[in-house]
A = this chain, B = another copy of it.
Amino acid sequence: MVESWSFLDTAESNFRPLVVIELAKGTKEETIEWFTKRIVDKKADGGAQLLIQPLVMENGVENIYLVGASHLRLLLGAETVGLVKECSDNSMRTFTYSSRKTFKHFADDNHNFLTMAECQYIIKHELENLRAKSEKMIPGYPQAKLYPGKSIVRRLLTSGILVQIFPLHDREELKKLSHSWYGRVKVGYQPLDDIRCYFGETIALYFGFLEYFTFALIPMAVIGIPYYVFAWEDYDKYVMFATFNLLWSTVILEVWKRMCAILTYRWGTLLMKRQFEEPRPGFHGVLGINPVTGREEPVYSSIKRQLRIYLVSLPFVCLCLYFSLYVMMIYFDLEQWALDYHKENESNFSSLMLYVPSIIYAIVIEIMNRIYRYAAEFLTSWENHRLESSYQNHLILKVLVFNFLNCFASLFYIAFVLFDMKLLRQSLATLLITSQILNQFAESLLPYWLQKRYNRKMKKRMCSKKTDTDLSLAEQVNMEKEMGTYLGTFDDYLELFLQFGYVSLFSCVYPLAAVFAVLNNITEIYSDALKMCRVYKRPFAEPTASIGVWQLAFETMSVISVVTNCILIGMSPEVDALFPDSKMDLVLTVALVEHLLLALKFIMAFVIPDKPRDIQMKLAKLEFESLEALKQQVRAFQMQL
């Protein structure tokens, strides 16, 4: 039985490098030997049964390895990770090797049945699931402890022996993709399916959301333009705009869920069973028995974690929020002081001084955001979450709350304490536009420029003037390993989330916000695409079925925006004039309208189904089939009795 597996190692002559492993320079020989042996060892012997080749560099240093796998090995791996692929009858099913013939485009000699991103995901999964057997430590590194079942790769990473693992770019494919994505000036959709094939579902879903969100903002932008052009200031027009905005933002968020279900159904991730999540690399604790798996692994008391969250993290976050508000108050004081100073001694210097508080505040906000981000990451890591998903959720929540306050607190203050609508509009415009320009610059153009310069330097050093596609494998690996690492979609979503805040929170004061958001997002698509294709290392594909916690964040923002818009409308002088006798009636009317709108929002969210009917039908069909199969099994068993 085991014998028959051996042909996997040699049967395929064409070794296709998929993933790069970079070890620390000076890693001990015995460690390398042990590690590579574990990688190529047969499954039955507890290995990963992959192929590995050292990459010989010009300078003769041998710390970079290329990992690949035979075609058959990848197909079996696809079954292990539970990949869902399309069948010949257009339905989506979990891939199994035994039923491989029923899948669309499957042929024993078709090596493109699995996309390169899928192959790389499978290899990553297999590498991460390479587990220690009886080893007590990593050979050559007694301080890097192991215990049965511990992921070897994770231990190598945490002990610094393994520098990084990353998937290789496919220069051919990348060129094709970037051409159809952003290479030509065209009006049309992004090639989402191609993006998904190349970068995986998480990133494709981000671009899908970005595109969807941009299209969804267009109606708001179109309606917003005449307000600017004709300088409409009528009360009823603003109310109409705000009401439209509120209902529209509910509708687009609900419809996105449906779009998302359509996309992820087509990509197979909607049906993909969640894998059993491993402890995240940073998780530590005393060695004990995991009550779920029954395996020996570090355990950490959940009560301790709760205590850390509620007694340390929560007060710290509150303190930071308070501090941020305090800084904001200083800013307003400074502003007032600058204004007074300008009034007293009107000079060129004093009018320059008018800008100083804003500039200082902008810089301080940026600094606070960065410091807080580090603090949040440190705290969340200190909370010692066992799962990556739970770590991410806690981090996102912390960062989100702080960023929300930092970005919008001054606007809230201007709107609801100073009651200065003109200043609000002005601040909103300034904040929105400058933040967009800064983001675009810092996020894409700067790294792109740095990368370009670096590449030029590299090529010069290699004394050759080849184009990208002509690079040798060694040159390509050498170049890619120096590229920055894409840290996930967090910052991209955060940017969109804050933008959504600018557009919706005070929409009735500044209808033009949506126009700027649309313009920004169009360039954002291009600059993000550029960033993915040219600036960063290729990231591993991550299957996902939705945008996760961000859906909740956007929905919360849209609820808050109902409240703010209702108050803003209630405060406008036009509405004031409608209730000349009693301010009381005004406030009560506004409160009533707000509650009705909120109720309407919740009812709409409840009534609009999360999945389109045909996806529901397809899911029901699959469920029915599996129930039927179960029944058949029972029946077959009863027959045999």
Contacts and interface: CB of A to CB of B under 8 A. Distances in A.
A27 to B, nearest CB: 31
Contact of A634 (B80, B563, B623, B624): B80
Contacts of A640: 1
A631 B273 CA distance: 13
A61 interface: no
B634 A76 contact: yes
Contact of A621 (B291, B302, B641): B291
A371 interface: no
A5 interface: yes
A302 B620 CA distance: 15
A638 interface: yes
B587 A634 contact: no
Contacts of A623: 276
A2 interface: yes
B587 A621 contact: no
A468 to B, nearest CB: 39
A302 to B, nearest CB: 7
Contact of A624 (B5, B80, B293, B302): B293
**At the interface, is chain A mostly helix, strand, loop or mixed?**
helix
A276 B619 CA distance: 12
Contact of A276 (B43, B96, B595, B624): B624
> How many copies of this protein are present in the complex?
2
A44 to B, nearest CB: 6
A419 to B, nearest CB: 13
A442 interface: no
Interface residues of A, number: 41
A592 to B, nearest CB: 10
B292 A617 contact: yes
A466 interface: no
Contacts of A635: 43
Interface in A592-641: 595, 613, 617, 620-621, 623-624, 627, 631, 634-635, 637-641
A458 interface: no
Interface in A60-106: 76, 79-80, 96-98
A613 B302 CA distance: 10
A591 interface: yes
A634 B44 contact: no
Contacts of A44: 639
Contacts of A302: 613
Given A2-B639, A302-B613, A639-B2, A624 B43 contact: no
Contact of A291 (B80, B292, B617, B641): B617
Interface in A283-305: 291-293, 302
Contacts of A584: 583-584, 587
B76 A638 contact: yes
Contacts of A273: 627
B276 A5 contact: no
Contacts of A624: 276, 292-293
A606 to B, nearest CB: 9
Nearest to A295: B624
Nearest to A613: B302
Contacts of A291: 617, 621
A400 to B, nearest CB: 14
Contact of A631 (B80, B591, B620, B641): B80
A96 B634 CA distance: 9
Nearest to A44: B639
Given A302-B613, A613-B302, A617-B292, A641 B4 contact: yes
A588 interface: yes
Interface string A1-17: 11011000000000000
A211 to B, nearest CB: 29
Interface of A: 1-2, 4-5, 43-44, 76, 79-80, 96-98, 273, 275-276, 291-293, 302, 563, 583-584, 587-588, 591, 595, 613, 617, 620-621, 623-624, 627, 631, 634-635, 637-641
25 contacts: A1-B640, A4-B641, A5-B639, A43-B635, A43-B639, A44-B639, A76-B638, A80-B634, A97-B638, A98-B637, A275-B627, A276-B624, A291-B617, A291-B621, A292-B617, A292-B620, A292-B621, A293-B621, A293-B624, A302-B613, A583-B583, A583-B584, A587-B587, A587-B588, A591-B591
The 6 nearest A-B residue pairs measured at CB: A292-B620, A292-B621, A587-B587, A1-B639, A276-B627, A583-B584
Given A43-B635, A98-B637, A584-B584, 20 more contacts: A1-B640, A2-B639, A5-B639, A44-B639, A76-B634, A76-B638, A97-B637, A273-B627, A275-B627, A276-B623, A276-B624, A276-B627, A291-B617, A291-B621, A292-B617, A292-B621, A292-B624, A302-B613, A583-B583, A587-B588
